């Protein structure tokens, strides 16, 4: 991972992306690339689409859609817009650190609020609390759901797989603050990493912590190794857990974990969820995910 970061402002012609193959039909991604540098991020391949290096430069060369809020308001004002659910942050975290300077996500939320458009946000960042005023105001008008991603409660492992992300405990405090403010908030246990975070006690720790923080639900997703991400993740394993490389090569002959493994993880998560109590995740958060069908731009 590069020690320096380059931020490239680009002009977006459209901001609302039509999505196929998912329960929601629209997505918005204010940025391309993500300084969180998560080794498992499936969206790394979007750099590859632009002839960029998704392995080495995913977190160091970030594209910023500086005009996104203006374009979005134009799109939302069209008579054809039906105020359908919009998923914010399907490819890159809308609250990665550069958002602190650009405030694009905040202005996008203000536009969605003004046009009474429901939103689901996925983030790993406590920076979302900066926009608590907008979120609470918005929640009085339309459906608002925030999903805070937490793959593990182990801070050391979290630092390895999510090098620049806030520690799990801080993210759980974010869940608590959002929930206490009346914003429907849950935890996305993702990704589940075979042989690293998939023991029953590992999954239970996240689910229990989410419940204690006041989460309304817990969803989960198993690791997906598509193009580019496979290279980045196997490089990480070779450096940190070389004994696991043969296991992953055997297990991930394709992009997805075997169906039997997916089923076992679902059984474990559902079992712990039932034991601890609480509602299930919304339908648009339930596995299996099909990231290859998402319009990530």
Region 216-229: what's the mean pLDDT?
92
Which sign does the torsion angle of CA 148, 149, 151, 156 carry? negative
d(CA 180, CA 126): 15
Whole-number percent of the chain with pLDDT over 90: 73
Ordered by start, the domain boundaries in the chain are 6-293
d(CA 95, CA 109): 12
| Residue 200, both tokens | 């029953």
Which sign does the torsion angle of CA 27, 30, 36, 38 carry? positive
d(CA 140, CA 85): 16
Average per-residue pLDDT in the chain? 88
d(CA 200, CA 189): 13
Strands (E), 66-160: 86-88, 119-123, 144-149
The CATH topology of domain 6-293 is TIM Barrel (3.20.20)
Greatest Cα-to-Cα distance within the chain, rounded to the nearest angstrom = 57
Query: What does the pLDDT look like over 169-192, one tens digit per residue?
Result: 999 999 999 999 999 999 999 999
Confidence of residue 132 (pLDDT cuts 50, 70, 90): very high
Query: What does the pLDDT look like over 4-62, one tens digit per residue?
Result: 878 899 999 999 999 887 788 999 999 988 888 899 988 666 644 454 544 455 566 88
Query: What does the pLDDT look like over 193-220, one tens digit per residue?
Result: 999 999 999 999 999 999 999 999 999 9
The answer to whether 222 touches 257, Cβ cutoff 8 Å, is yes
Pairing type for strands 144-149 and 184-192 reads parallel
pLDDT for residue 291 is more than 60:
no
> Does 65 sit behind a cis peptide bond, omega within 30 degrees of 0 on the bond before it?
no
Only one residue has tokens 């929930």, namely 179
pLDDT for the residue numbered 1: 43
Which sign does the torsion angle of CA 247, 227, 120, 135 carry? positive
């Amino acid at each position: 991972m590069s020690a320096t970061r380059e931020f490239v402002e680009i002009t977006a012609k459209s901001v609302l992306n039509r999505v196929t193959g998912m329960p929601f039909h629209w997505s918005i991604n204010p940025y391309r690339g993500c300084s969180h540098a998560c080794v498992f991020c499936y969206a790394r391949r979007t750099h590859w689409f632009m002839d960029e290096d998704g392995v080495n430069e995913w977190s160091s060369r970030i594209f910023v859609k500086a005009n996104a809020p203006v374009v979005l308001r134009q799109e939302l004002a069209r008579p054809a817009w039906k105020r359908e659910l919009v998923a914010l942050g399907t490819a890159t975290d809308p609250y990665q650190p550069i958002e602190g300077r650009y405030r694009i996500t905040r202005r996008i939320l203000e536009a969605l609020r003004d046009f009474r458009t429901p939103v689901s946000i996925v983030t790993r960042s406590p920076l979302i609390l900066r926009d608590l005023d907008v979120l609470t105001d918005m929640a009085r008008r339309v459906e608002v759901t925030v999903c805070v991603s937490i793959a593990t409660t182990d801070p050391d492992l979290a630092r390895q797989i999510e090098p620049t992300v806030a520690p799990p405990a801080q993210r759980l405090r974010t869940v608590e603050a959002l929930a206490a403010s009346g914003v429907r908030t849950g935890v996305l246990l993702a990704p589940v990493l075979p042989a690293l975070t998939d023991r029953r006690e590992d999954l239970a720790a996240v689910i229990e912590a989410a419940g204690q923080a006041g989460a309304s639900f817990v969803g989960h997703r198993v690791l997906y190794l598509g193009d580019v991400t496979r290279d980045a993740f196997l490089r990480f394993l070779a450096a940190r857990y070389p004994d696991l490389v043969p296991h992953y090569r055997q297990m991930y002959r394709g992009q997805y974990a075997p169906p039997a493994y997916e089923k076992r993880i679902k059984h474990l998560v559902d079992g712990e969820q039932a034991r601890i109590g609480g509602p299930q995740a919304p339908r648009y958060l339930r596995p299996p995910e099909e990231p290859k069908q998402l319009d990530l731009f």
